[in-house]
Amino acid sequence: MKISKKFELRILLIFLLFTFLCFLFLLINTYGMNHFLDDKNNLLEENFNKAIPNIYDCNFNYYEINHHMKEGGFTKLRFRKSITGNELCFGKITYTGITPGTKFSDISRDSYIEFGVNQKHGLPLWLFEVNFLMFTFIIFMLIIFQIFFYKKNFFVAFIFTILIYSIITFNENNTFINSSKSYFPNTDTTNENFMQNRLNDDS
Amino acid sequence: MMIVDQVLLIILFITPGLIITSFFNLKKEYLLTLCFSIFFWSLSSIFIPMNFFVVNIYGNFIIYFAFLFWIIKFKNFKNLIFNFIFLLLFENINNFFGVIHITSTTQITLDSALSNLSFNSYNPGVSSMQIALLKFFNKNFILLTLQQCASFSLLFFNLKNIIKLNRLKYFNIFIIFPAFLIIAVLLEIMTIRTHFFASQLLCFLIIEAFKLKSKRLPTSVFLIFLCMFISSRLENIIIYFPLILLVLRNYFNDEIIIKNKKMVFMLLLSTFSPLIINFHAYTNTQDLRGNIFILSFLIILLNIFVIFNKNNLIKFIHNKFNLIFIFSVILLAIALHYLFSNKAMNSWLLIFNHLVDSHQGWGVVVFYFVIILIYLINKTENYELKKMYTTFFITFALIIISSPLQHSSYGGESWIDGIIEGLAIYNPYDESQTRSFLQLFLTILPFSVLITSPKANI
């Protein structure tokens, strides 16, 4: 049996969409959506307004701490994701490298600030990351458009979405996970510095 | 003074490539010159005396003399100038801005290169091609971007080929640009590791296999590239075995190879020589990639499949290729689960975590890969090409499913104990499979240009 080309693309995209929706359902089932729906975290607002919060017993989630720090003007944030089996700590912050209670005014905006965040094994933290969630939503819509308007080729729209998302997140991703340094450009890796650091003794 | 050092090093590196392109009468294929150079110099990890040409001043003079001879004899100045400027540009961009990504592999590769240059064969398990990339230095300068130059050169060659064969516009090339803004991809491209180069080698082989016979490059060139692809990464023959089978099957589809003794000999030479080229690397690698018995078995199987291409059993296997491949991957998954029980599941979920995470754009690359393949499968009318694209999907599954084999070798105590509580999701067990996935993605990337074609079928 020969499947027509239009039908073939639709089948493949419906299969992709179905898998994607099942996965999303699994994520919502595990992490919930409360972090978006709850207006404000009172503990964070009242006790740690413009300060590093005191993190214990998985009391803050990834989304609100990320939001809290970005509101404070910090851009060099790192979230180290690790696996946990503790259901109460899924999507929750576990530690920070800065002393709790430290005022934002006492920290340089260029500082490297690290947080630990827990996730369930096999289930990423997409639901806490606004940019990525928007990216997936646009992709989701494009897949639906492609299924319905199969005569048009939406591939360029997909690529354009990837381009925009990559540009927006480029600086955030262009950083080492364990320091404030950037991957590109990096003067440590110039030919002259490479010679000096790695070959001078050996050559 | 530094510019003189750069010029001398570049001439030293590209001279074999210039000579080989002239030898194969590929004067106009400037974009292949650097690939041939890498191939030539990769032999210096096994034929150790060859390092004399790099490390010794008299050896250098022999190469410079060969270079002068080549200029006088062939006068292919365009080829020389193009590649020379290309290398000079990349090296100086790196020297000013620092665009190379230095990883732990860089140091062990450098150690192997230094050992070779001292006429020893120390190799902790790095491909000869990778070692060759760090051999070109003198007291003032080192060439660091050879991998990037050769890979981009081959990427442009592949794109040019796809554009010309399908009568597309050169403007369509821009469709692949967003891939280079994804940090996960960019980081891999800018390392000393040869994944990017290997990806473009496989892309080259696929394009050649599906071209009309009249438009192909000489078979000897195809076989040199096949040899380069197999030897460019130690794991290539294992992970990309099904893709290589399909490539060879399509390339030799119309020929009765068994009757062509010369062709059989060339095929055997090109497929077995990577075992010799990477001999030191294979013998010093403790995992599956270094198992000479398995590697030899796969290569023999590969040759049987191609040489007896008109045999009914081989034809049957070819017809049901992806079905057999899927079945094999499922069997592998069952076997690994039986061998490692819960640890196998841990490995699969960990690599999945890594691949779909938003960090460095990994999730975006996976999506990009899937969407390219879906459109390509839909766009082509060629049944064999459609089969090939589907094989890419199954190879992706193979990369994930085979992860316990790598983790069991490099996962250390935490993998043996099966403890995952508190384990970081980024590179928990030195995950090189994720890089194999990037290689797969970069292989298919140039083909995405086809999707923008106004033609209904390509």
- Asked if A189's CB is within 8 angstroms of B98's CB, the reply is yes
Residue-wise pLDDT tens digits, A35-66: 777 666 677 777 778 889 989 889 899 998 99
B287 plus B410 within the same structural domain: yes
* Chain A interface mutation, best of B114, B183, B368, B390, highest count of A Cβ atoms under 10 Å: B183
Scanning A161-200 for CB atoms below 8 A from B yields: 162-163, 165-167, 169-170, 173-174, 177, 183-195, 198-199
For residue B94, give how far its alpha carbon lies from the nearest alpha carbon of chain A (Å): 5
pLDDT of A202 above 90: no
B139 plus B159 within the same structural domain: no
Find residue A78's DSSP bridge partners: A114
Q: Is A16 on the interface with B (CB under 8 A)?
A: yes
Q: Cβ(B371)–Cβ(A17) under 8 Å?
A: no
Token pair of A97 as six digits: 């490298």
Q: How far apart are CA B59 and CA B243, in angstroms?
A: 40
Q: Cβ(B392)–Cβ(B367) under 8 Å?
A: no
Q: Contacts of residue B361 in chain A, CB cutoff 8 Å?
A: 166, 169, 173
B423 plus B375 within the same structural domain: yes
- Asked if B97's CB is within 8 angstroms of A165's CB, the reply is no
Kind and range of the H or E run holding A31: helix A5-31
Q: Are strands A93-96 and A77-84 parallel, antiparallel or unpaired?
A: unpaired
B63 plus B196 within the same structural domain: no
The one-letter amino acid at A112: Y
Token pair of B173 as six digits: 């090339």
B260 plus B393 within the same structural domain: yes
Residue-wise pLDDT tens digits, B318-346: 999 999 999 999 999 999 999 999 999 99
B29 plus B100 within the same structural domain: yes
Q: How many domains does chain B have?
A: 2
pLDDT of A79 above 60: yes
In percent, the amount of chain A with pLDDT more than 70 equals 93
* Chain A interface mutation, best of B358, B360, B365, B368, highest count of A Cβ atoms under 10 Å: B358
Q: What is the pLDDT of residue B52?
A: 97
Q: Contacts of residue A203 in chain B, CB cutoff 8 Å?
A: 114, 137, 139
Residue A106 to residues A49, A109, A190, B25, B385, Cα–Cα distance (Å): 13, 9, 35, 68, 61
Q: How far apart are CA B432 and CA B410, in angstroms?
A: 10
B197 plus B303 within the same structural domain: yes
- Asked if A121's CB is within 8 angstroms of B346's CB, the reply is yes
Among residues B144, B160, B180, the one where a domain terminates is B144
B120 plus B192 within the same structural domain: no
B164 plus B246 within the same structural domain: yes
Q: Nearest residue on chain A to B187, judged by CA atoms?
A: A183
Find residue A77's DSSP bridge partners: A113
B200 plus B134 within the same structural domain: no
Those residues with Cβ within 8 angstroms of residue B357's Cβ, 6 or more apart along the chain or in another chain: A81, A124, A125, B363, B425, B426
Q: Is A159 on the interface with B (CB under 8 A)?
A: yes
B19 plus B113 within the same structural domain: yes
Count CB pairs under 8 A between chains A and B. 163
Q: What is the pLDDT of residue A110?
A: 83
Concatenated DSSP letters of B156-224:
HHHHHHHHHHTT--GGGGGGGGGGGGSHHHHHHHTSSSSHHHHHHHHHHHHHHHHS-GGGPPPHHHHHH
B42 plus B172 within the same structural domain: no
Q: What is the pLDDT of residue A201?
A: 60
Q: Cβ(B46)–Cβ(B280) under 8 Å?
A: yes
Q: How far apart are CA B36 and CA B123, in angstroms?
A: 23
Q: What is the pLDDT of residue B246?
A: 96
- Sheet of A93-96, strand order: A77-84, A113-120, A93-96
What backbone torsions phi and psi does residue B118 show, to the nearest 5 degrees? Answer: -95, 15
- Asked if B97's CB is within 8 angstroms of A194's CB, the reply is no
Scanning A125-154 for CB atoms below 8 A from B yields: 125-126, 129, 131-132, 135, 139, 153
Strands (E), chain A: 77-84, 93-96, 113-120
Q: What is the pLDDT of residue B220?
A: 96
Among residues B144, B176, B209, the one where a domain terminates is B144
Q: Which of B322, B308, B337 is nearest to B383 (CA)?
A: B322
Q: Contacts of residue B451 in chain A, CB cutoff 8 Å?
A: 153, 155
In percent, the amount of chain B with pLDDT more than 70 equals 99
pLDDT class for A96, splitting at 50, 70, 90? very high
Q: Which of B294, B245, B281 is nearest to B402 (CA)?
A: B294
pLDDT of B395 above 50: yes
For A35-121, CATH gives: 3.30.10.20
Q: How far apart are CA B165 and CA B188, in angstroms?
A: 29
- Asked if A5's CB is within 8 angstroms of B378's CB, the reply is yes
Residue-wise pLDDT tens digits, B254-273: 888 888 999 999 999 999 99
Residue-wise pLDDT tens digits, B100-157: 999 989 999 999 999 999 999 999 999 999 999 999 999 999 999 999 999 999 999 9
Complex ipTM value: 0.94
- Asked if B378's CB is within 8 angstroms of A12's CB, the reply is yes
Q: Cβ(A191)–Cβ(B144) under 8 Å?
A: yes
Q: What is the pLDDT of residue B146?
A: 97
Average pLDDT, chain B: 94
Which comes out higher in pLDDT, residue B389 or A1? B389
Q: Where are the domains of chain A?
A: 5-31+129-189, 35-121
pLDDT class for A203, splitting at 50, 70, 90? very low
pLDDT of B15 above 90: yes
Token pair of B60 as six digits: 């250098």
- Asked if A184's CB is within 8 angstroms of B181's CB, the reply is no
Cα-Cα end-to-end distance for chain B? 52
For residue A184, give how far its alpha carbon lies from the nearest alpha carbon of chain B (Å): 6
Domain coverage including residue B50? 1-144
